[in-house]
Amino acid sequence: MEAKYRLATFAWSSVANVTTQADINREIDQLRGSGGPQPRLDYPPYRSSVLRHPTRDRQLVDPEGVELWAPCFGAADVDDAEADLTIQRAGEPLGERMVVTGRITDGDGRPVRDQLVEIWQANASGRYWHQRDQHPAPLDPNFVGAGRCLTGADGVYSFQTIKPGAYPWRNHVNAWRPAHIHFSLFGTDFTQRLVTQMYFPGDPLFDLDPIYQSITDPKAREMLVASYDHELTTPEYRLGYRWDIVLSGTHRTPLEEQ
Amino acid sequence: MTFAPGQTVGPFFHLGLPFEGGNLLVPTAHPDAVRLHGRVFDGEGAGVPDSVIEIWQADPSGRVPRGTGSFHRDGFTFTGWGRAQTDGDGHYWFSTLIPGVTEPGRRPFIAVTVFARGLTDRLFTRAYLPGDEPEALLDGLEPGRRDTLIATREERGLLFDIHLQGEGETVFLSYPRQAR
Ligand SMILES: [Fe+2]
């Protein structure tokens, strides 16, 4: 009861738009560990979630028909060049060139092969190629920030890009997002669909960010943080990050597979 | 084994997710094309203008499509998958075909995934065709809840509104292997 009352009070202070980082930190602290390994849909520190989360429990159902299968993508959909975000425009983008690669597996450890991966991100200054982004940081005419690829037979994806910058948003006063790359993923059945964000190791903004903290289990949160991998770093060219992704389990039996 | 958690698509997903023809599973001029459309609403009944809807469905014969080419549609291959963003009114629409039944005795449905700014993780639901066949999921719900999963037939298609919260809140689904 006490926690509920206090959250209601915080919601009022947001109406007056005077919510500070300290207020948000207190709310984040109160909700620590309160959810499972998936993000809480009802997470008031992320203000935009207040009117957009379902209040009823999700209905558990056995998947059937199309839900047991995922849409197929292939060479007709994705050009190899789309995996390199640094060659989309006439010139070289500014910022720290990097590669991010990893293996996508399903909840049973099997590689997710020949499947679509999409990413989008801010440029090195923390600015998106998007009308709605009013952050007074420069756009880079040589960096759009969207890419696609297909995984290989081993479930491995790879993108060459520029390390994105942190950026401000208006959740509360002086709110900043840790640097991240948005990832959209498909598995081998529709129930594995995942859109998430990849973060960079050691970001000082982690503790302050209500989107990252909407996953209240620290072990689960850490699954979204890539690791720096010197083996992937290329001399005098680019830094390497590794980020492996585990999707949820499949429901289709091996028999249906054939 | 634990799996990677989701995160919101945020406000800038237009950069990465929508694509030309994403909502056209078949050309609107296709003789059997229907419009599947609706609005996405928040807890105060306002349209959600920054939402992405994906659909995935069988073809009219009930076959699960295995063809590629959703990003560069050739106008002939039915891939069964589409993506649309909502407009300023929270409205989305697809041009598609009526799905057939994949298993005898079941009611056809279109699998729907919902993403939005402010939604910390994607939501799954089903848009069932209206009909009389018994259906375990629908029959297990109280009538008011059940109706949120059934599309309304219109002259040229199907209407399927999505209420994220509150009055008429859509029934969202979870599957066994996502159990916490
Ligand atoms: Fe972002």
Tell whether the model's pLDDT for residue A72 goes beyond 70: yes
Tell me whether residue B136 is exposed, middle or buried, using C-beta atoms within 10 angstroms of its C-beta: 0 to 12, 13 to 18, 19 or more.
exposed
- The predicted model gives A167-193 an average pLDDT of 97
Enter the pTM of the model: 0.94
pLDDT band at A258; cut points 50, 70, 90: very low
Of A182, A148, A137, nearest in space to B10 by CA: A182
pLDDT for residue B133: 83
- Please state, in angstroms and rounded to a whole number, the distance separating the CA atoms of residues B27 and B75: 6
pLDDT for residue A253: 72
User: Residue A163 has which token pair?
Assistant: 């390390």
A61 vs B66: CB contact, 8 Å cut-off? no
- Please state, in angstroms and rounded to a whole number, the distance separating the CA atoms of residues A246 and B152: 37
H helix intervals, chain A: 2-15, 21-31, 218-222, 254-257
Tell whether the model's pLDDT for residue B27 goes beyond 70: yes
Domain B23-173: give its CATH architecture.
Answer: Sandwich (2.60)
Residues from chain A that touch B98, judged by Cβ atoms under 8 A, are none
Q: Which of A97, A172, A180, A238 is an active site residue?
A: A180
Tell whether the model's pLDDT for residue A256 goes beyond 90: no
Task: Decide if A167 is catalytic.
Answer: yes
Sequence ranges of the domains in chain B? 23-173
Q: Taking chain A, what is the end-to-end CA distance rounded to the nearest angstrom?
A: 53
| Residue A150, min C-alpha distance to chain B (Å) | 12
pLDDT for residue B179: 63
Q: Which helix (H) or strand (E) holds B99?
A: none
Of A73, A28, A53, nearest in space to A210 by CA: A28
* A133-179: pLDDT as tens digits: 889 999 999 999 999 999 999 999 999 999 999 999 999 999 999 99
| Residue B89, min C-alpha distance to chain A (Å) | 15
Task: Decide if A40 is catalytic.
Answer: no
* Amino acid letter, residue B3: F
pLDDT for residue A4: 45
